[in-house]
Amino acid sequence: MFFVAILLAIAIAVLSALAYQRMRSEIIHGVQQELDAAIAGNSEALGRWLAQRRDAIQATANRLGDVDASAPYPFLQQGKDAGGFDQTFAGYADKAMRYHTPDKLPADGYDPTARPWYQLASAQKGVAITAPYVFSSTQKLGVTVASPILRGGAQLGVVGGDIALDGLTAVVKAIRLRGDGYAFLATRDGKIVSHPAADSTLKPVAEVMPGFDAALVSAAGNSPTLHEVEIDGRSHYAEVASIAGSDWVLGTVVEKDVMLAPLNQLLLTLVLAGLVVAVAGIVLANFALTRLLASLVRLRDALLDVASGDGDLTHQLSVDKQDEIGQTAEAFNRFIGSLRQMF
């Protein structure tokens, strides 16, 4: 009986382990699909948002290359409207500065050629997007999109447009995932652009999400890959992917324990079911073995009775089945019959 119980326990344990692993794989696959979908849909939307601004500035730069530096205002206004910029402007190599409205003038001594947006667009020789920074005039987080103004291959200056990221960050913060999940937007060098945590703007990823490997952000590619990471001492699943046309990375994070919570219920169910099956199996096996061995027990008792020398030679064993035990009982009956004739 003990051997039967051990076999049942091993069989139930193996089947339970297989079911658990299968369920775990399915849940993790579901998590990856959910994060993939969130990354793909939102990174594409962010990429389109950036592309629209890049295209607007590029078109403005093309138009300004054909007009006099003293009269860029209509084209700057068109660029502002097309890209939804807070303001557009053109800085020229002679340090002249023009805005989308003639009424706005630069501060005394302002040198556009010394500004980061001017130098970045000049260095890249094409449309460039600055790293996010806080605008001094509005105290809002934003970026400058800039492009060189060319005429006959020579650079006349740089046209740029400032745009706040309020709407963009709100979209990222609105992304909701199961498992207390959330999304974040960061620069490739590890500065937070958008995160649900308060006062996280422009802080390092490692400070906002302690334990998160910032190397995942810097190495992010176009296709997201599921990673298991530690944040605040708790395990999470995370994916990161780059945003096309930018130096930004979109990430999604869900808490591992919450996502795998159904496994705990499954494990409890498997244990309880295993116990029920084991007990029922042992009871049924005991019942079956008892019935199976009942004839053998009677045969043993009869043999012991005869062997004692005081046995009843008129006693006959009942034969219910023609199995090995039944055939042995028949042989015993014949043996007893022979003994009766002898004595």
232 or 85, greater pLDDT: 85
Q: Is the pLDDT of residue 8 over 90?
A: no
- Per-residue model confidence as pLDDT tens digits over 77-90: 999 999 999 999 99
Say which CATH architecture domain 57-163 belongs to: 2-Layer Sandwich (3.30)
| pLDDT, mean of residues 39-52 | 91
Q: Which CATH superfamily is domain 2-49+167-258 in?
A: PAS domain (3.30.450.20)
Q: Which CA distances in Å does 31 have to 26, 42, 226, 262?
A: 9, 17, 9, 13
- Per-residue model confidence as pLDDT tens digits over 109-142: 999 999 999 999 999 999 999 999 999 888 899 9
Q: Smallest Cα–Cα separation from 40: which of 321, 290, 243, 261?
A: 243
User: Is-same-fold flag (2-49+167-258; 57-163)?
Assistant: yes
pLDDT of residue 299: 61
Residues facing 240 on adjacent strands: 251
H or E element: which one contains 140? none
Q: Smallest Cα–Cα separation from 78: which of 150, 161, 157, 165?
A: 161
User: Quick check: 135 and 124 in contact, CB under 8 A?
Assistant: no
Q: Is the pLDDT of residue 172 over 70?
A: yes
Distance in angstroms (rounded) separating the CA atoms of residues 322 and 324: 7
Q: Domain boundaries in the chain?
A: 2-49+167-258, 57-163, 262-342
Q: Is the pLDDT of residue 1 over 80?
A: no
The encoded tokens of residue 47 equal 């990429």
3-state secondary structure of 192: strand
Distance in angstroms (rounded) separating the CA atoms of residues 271 and 267: 6
Extended beta strands in the chain, E state: 87-92, 97-99, 128-129, 133-134, 141-151, 154-164, 182-187, 192-194, 227-231, 234-242, 248-255
Q: Is the pLDDT of residue 336 over 80?
A: no
Q: Is the pLDDT of residue 339 over 70?
A: no
Q: What percent of the chain has pLDDT over 90?
A: 43
Lookup result for tokens 């600055």: 130
Distance in angstroms (rounded) separating the CA atoms of residues 53 and 245: 11
Q: What is the pTM of this model?
A: 0.72
- Per-residue model confidence as pLDDT tens digits over 242-286: 998 888 999 999 988 888 776 677 667 767 766 777 677 677 767
The encoded tokens of residue 119 equal 């130098």
Q: Is the pLDDT of residue 340 over 70?
A: no
| pLDDT, mean of residues 48-56 | 95
Extended beta strands in 21-169, E state: 87-92, 97-99, 128-129, 133-134, 141-151, 154-164
Q: Is the pLDDT of residue 98 over 90?
A: yes
